[in-house]
Amino acid sequence: MNQKRIFKGLLLTLVLGCLFFQSCKSKKKIPKDSPAFTVIQTAKSYYGTPYKYGGTTRSGMDCSALVFHAYYAAGINLPRMSADQSKVGKRIKLQEVRPGDLLFFATGRRKNQVSHSGIVTEVSKENVRFIHASTSLGVSEDYMSNSYWKKAFLFATRILE
């Protein structure tokens, strides 16, 4: 019984430590008047929207619709499908991304074909956070350090200069 308490205490300390360090890492603020701020805030306004293949509304949407709507709010009209969206903008390395940039993934059977997209929301020394429409969670955020996304990642593009 005593060992269980010690283990729970260590686990709690570890969790709180991780939360503390996550909240303390430096993140560059995005100016509120920038197009990137508009793109990210619009995308975040869709949090919790369920995933629906081909969906374009708050009752259900897919990843490319999220990207389309977020950029449209900033005055940029992108194609509707992820594969077509991936052809717009300048390709950049993952180490060069900044908030508002797009990430493209191959989540289907074809390993080099774009089938998923997301918008970078935060960049730190350790990680890249992005928002997307997940088939399991709907519109949510995830990290590039997640082994699934790391393996599926193809490339990033920058549309906003």
Structure tokens at 104: 């493209």
Hey, which residues are catalytic here?
63, 116, 132
Confidence of residue 27 (pLDDT cuts 50, 70, 90): low
Is 80 exceeded by the pLDDT of residue 30? yes
Domain containing 89: what range? 27-158
0.85 surpassed by pTM: no
Which pLDDT tens digit goes with each residue over 125-148? 999 999 999 999 999 999 999 999
In a domain, 15, yes or no: no
Q: Of 14-28, 66-80, 101-115, where does mean pLDDT reach its minimum?
A: 14-28
In a domain, 9, yes or no: no
At 111 the pLDDT is: 85
Q: State the CATH number of the domain containing residue 31.
A: 3.90.1720.10
Q: How many domains does the chain have?
A: 1
In a domain, 76, yes or no: yes
Contact 152/105 with Cβ under 8 angstroms?
Answer: yes
Contact 104/89 with Cβ under 8 angstroms?
Answer: no
Q: Phi/psi class of residue 113: alpha, beta or left (left: φ > 0; alpha: ψ in -120 to 50)? A: beta
In a domain, 128, yes or no: yes
Compute the average pLDDT of residues 3-21.
Answer: 43
Confidence of residue 26 (pLDDT cuts 50, 70, 90): very low
Say how far apart CA 7 and CA 28 lie, in whole Å.
36
Which pLDDT tens digit goes with each residue over 39-83? 999 999 999 999 999 999 999 999 999 999 999 999 999 999 999
